[in-house]
Structure 1
Amino acid sequence: MSKRFARGLVVGKFAPLHLGHEWLIRQAQEQCEQLVLLSWARPELPGCEPERRTAWLRLRFPELASWVVTPEWVEQRRAQGLQLPDLPDEQEPDAVQRQFVAAFCLAELGQPVDAVFTSEDYGDGFAAHLARCFGLPVQHVEIDRARIQVPVSGTRLRADIHGLRQYLAPQVYGDFVERIALLGGESTGKSSLALALAEKLGTRHAAEYGRELWEEQGGVLAYEDLLRIGRTQVDREQSLAGQCRRYLVCDTTPLTTLFYCREMFGRAEPELERLAERHYQHLFLCVDDFPFVQDGTRRDETFRRRQNQWYEQELQRRGWPFTRLAGSPTQRLEQALRHLGRSPAIQR
């Protein structure tokens, strides 16, 4: 059965892409043979950069054609011969915004659309402007203008992204979760602290995959295993982030994997070197200031000291701010919570 429209269009900032946007897009999909998504924001909004919006649309709607356009994109397409006006600023008149959309459809898509879908009061005027530019009818389809299905807006979400996280798909919310990374040599209380910190913050923690694989393989790791460890650790973080609450506590980072790879094999794959540059909003280094505990798998206190010295040097060389955690496990937990602006006595 053919659908109501041949080609539809949804335009939005998608900053961030929330479930209200997704409801609108799904409703439009049901009515169109082909649906196009177009996004731009001038100025760009913090946390919703073009790269993120592109990734969100591709993750949530991989079957749809989507464009996240920027002034740089416009210049590139002009250099390739397309007739496009400047990308409008948010403060420019509606007519300028609509003219850009019309030009985009004719230049980039090579054809007009016959329907636009919105949840806003500007929809009728938008459709009428496109119709004049195309010389063809364009219908406006209004979807849930009262926001009954998903009672939220991008403005509200940007003001309280964590408090309103239920209105975001996990893949989207995960990009707003702050990663807390714990580093430290063997027997510095890192893994115990990761569990305690995640519990205190009411969130999840990403356990150390390298230790799991080491135990699974009877304490034997091949060179190829180290890159696998780095990749899996990052994948684990990515899959857990959307299930978190403001923070994700990471029991290690690929920087640790890089250390062991160089230590064991004297070299590392370029990809592992790149993974070791992964950004974390909060870096904690567990100091080696309490007695070394041998659990049958660890090296010795000398190795622990050398490992912590390597972390110190690498973090400083990269210019990454970090906080040292010292003292008893309870003291370390309190220090981490204070750094995060949280009361050691309260779970929030």
Structure 2
Amino acid sequence: MTRYARGLIVGKFCPLHHGHQYLIERARSLCEQLVILSYTRPEFPGCEPARRERWLADLYPDAIRCVLDDVRLAEACRQRGLPAVSLPDNDAADAVQRRFVAWVLRHLMDTVVDAVFTSEDYGDGFASALSAEQRAHGGPAVAHVMVDPQRVAVPVSGTMIRDDVHAARHYLSPVVYRDFVRRVAIIGGESTGKSTLAAQLAAAMGTVHAAEYGRELWEAKHGALVHDDMLHIARTQIAREESLVAQANRYLICDTTPLTTALYAEVMFDAVADELDALSRRAYDLVFLCSPDVPFVQDGTRRDEAFRQWQHEWYVRELKARNVAYRLLTGSWEARLSMARALL
């Protein structure tokens, strides 16, 4: 079987799916080194360059990767003292796309390839054009390696996945799918039902929820928390979310956030560590704030109804100051669950 020094794969990867990965794995098995170039114009929502770059880096750290958009391309040209160049539109002629790829390889990546891997009929022409460009500058000829043109191994396309990324999640690596999961935060004062709501909402939506770690540590230490515990709580809460997101379905329901930990650090120790303050600004796709309009229940760990009201006002003030949009959940426990489900 022919081996190649350096292979090339070019794609939008919007999003990167198992069909792309099948092609990439095949190329890796036949090449000493693999070059992956990704660009698209226009961009597709949810598949921004930073995400595509992260997907490729996480899954193929040994590959030479280049992910471009107009901003990145302009900056690369500026740094190298090159005239400004624009990305070709997705519907640009094959000749335009081929010239651009050859230009990127030579001027931005300082490399040559001796094989291009595709699953497309245009592959032969693509390889021929790259050969001509490279040989004109003393480089090697380029072979075309066709991989599964009938899409038998992985019958999927980017268009199909973009139509319903959640229905097609089985074609996506967890590394990729996690970026399409919407993180839903539930916050509120003591005895506003947020923990119960988080579990019920996750069950109703067929997904998982990240339980509140701070409460667990409080109980484990019999309430004897120290200031350093607050940062540990926030870090652990975030780590819990990150570990669960790959198991989530459409939504990850988050029972509290580091914003709550910052509240308790302020109340208990009159000090919020800089890192905790930064973590408390962690963004969520949707924030539910539970209203204190239900009966207060003392479970032996809570303060009192006045403190609960103060907490609510603190949340409202902080969310407004941070320009964080939120939805207020009111009424009975059943009404809150119904309202949250409707909003999702």
TM value normalised by structure 1: 0.93
Equivalent-residue separation in structure 2 for 1:62 and 1:236 (angstroms)? 25
Aligned residue for 2:153, secondary structure, equals coil
Deviation at 1:83, TM superposition (A): 4.5
| 1:120 is the counterpart of 2:120 | yes
1:126-165 aligned at under 5 Å gives the runs: 126-135=126-135, 136-165=140-169
| 1:200 is the counterpart of 2:204 | yes
| 1:270 is the counterpart of 2:270 | no
How many residue pairs get aligned? The number is 339
| 1:245 is the counterpart of 2:249 | yes
Deviation at 1:66, TM superposition (A): 1.1
Q: Give the one of 168, 173, 177 matched to 1:173.
A: 177
| 1:129-159 Cα distance to aligned partner (Å, 9 max, x none) | 1000001310111111111111111111011
Equivalent-residue separation in structure 2 for 1:119 and 1:217 (angstroms)? 58
1:1-348 aligned at under 5 Å gives the runs: 4-81=3-80, 83=82, 85-135=85-135, 136-340=140-344
Deviation at 1:89, TM superposition (A): 1.9
- Runs of 5+ unmatched residues, structure 2: none
Equivalent-residue separation in structure 2 for 1:73 and 1:128 (angstroms)? 28
- Give the stretch that moved more between structures: 157-166 or 224-233: 224-233
Deviation at 1:219, TM superposition (A): 1.9
Answer yes or no: is the 8 Å Cα contact 1:82–1:107 preserved in 2: no
- Give the stretch that moved more between structures: 43-52 or 227-236: 227-236
- Give the stretch that moved more between structures: 197-206 or 294-303: 294-303
- Give the stretch that moved more between structures: 159-168 or 211-220: 211-220
Deviation at 1:172, TM superposition (A): 0.9
Deviation at 1:32, TM superposition (A): 0.5
Answer yes or no: is the 8 Å Cα contact 1:233–1:254 preserved in 2: yes
Deviation at 1:271, TM superposition (A): 2.5
Mark the CA change 1:63 to 1:221 in structure 2 (over 3 Å): closer, same or farther.
farther
Aligned residue for 1:242, secondary structure, equals helix
Residue 281 of structure 2 aligns with an amino acid whose one-letter code is E
Deviation at 1:3, TM superposition (A): 7.1
Equivalent-residue separation in structure 1 for 2:218 and 2:297 (angstroms)? 19
- Deviating 4+ runs (over 6 angstroms): none
Residue 305 of structure 2 aligns with an amino acid whose one-letter code is E
Equivalent-residue separation in structure 2 for 1:146 and 1:132 (angstroms)? 28
Answer yes or no: is the 8 Å Cα contact 1:116–1:139 preserved in 2: yes
Equivalent-residue separation in structure 2 for 1:119 and 1:236 (angstroms)? 39
Mark the CA change 1:86 to 1:339 in structure 2 (over 3 Å): closer, same or farther.
closer
Equivalent-residue separation in structure 2 for 1:213 and 1:25 (angstroms)? 44
Answer yes or no: is the 8 Å Cα contact 1:172–1:242 preserved in 2: no
| 1:51-72 Cα distance to aligned partner (Å, 9 max, x none) | 1111111111122221111222
What RMSD, in angstroms, separates the aligned Cα atoms of the two structures? 1.6
Mark the CA change 1:338 to 1:77 in structure 2 (over 3 Å): closer, same or farther.
closer
Deviation at 1:82, TM superposition (A): 5.6
| 1:311-337 Cα distance to aligned partner (Å, 9 max, x none) | 111122223222211222111111111
Equivalent-residue separation in structure 2 for 1:258 and 1:316 (angstroms)? 16
Equivalent-residue separation in structure 1 for 2:184 and 2:98 (angstroms)? 43
Mark the CA change 1:41 to 1:55 in structure 2 (over 3 Å): closer, same or farther.
same
TM value normalised by structure 2: 0.94
- Runs of 5+ unmatched residues, structure 1: 341-348
Equivalent-residue separation in structure 2 for 1:109 and 1:319 (angstroms)? 41
Deviation at 1:109, TM superposition (A): 2.9
Residue 301 of structure 1 aligns with an amino acid whose one-letter code is E
Residue 245 of structure 2 aligns with an amino acid whose one-letter code is A
Residue 33 of structure 1 aligns with an amino acid whose one-letter code is E
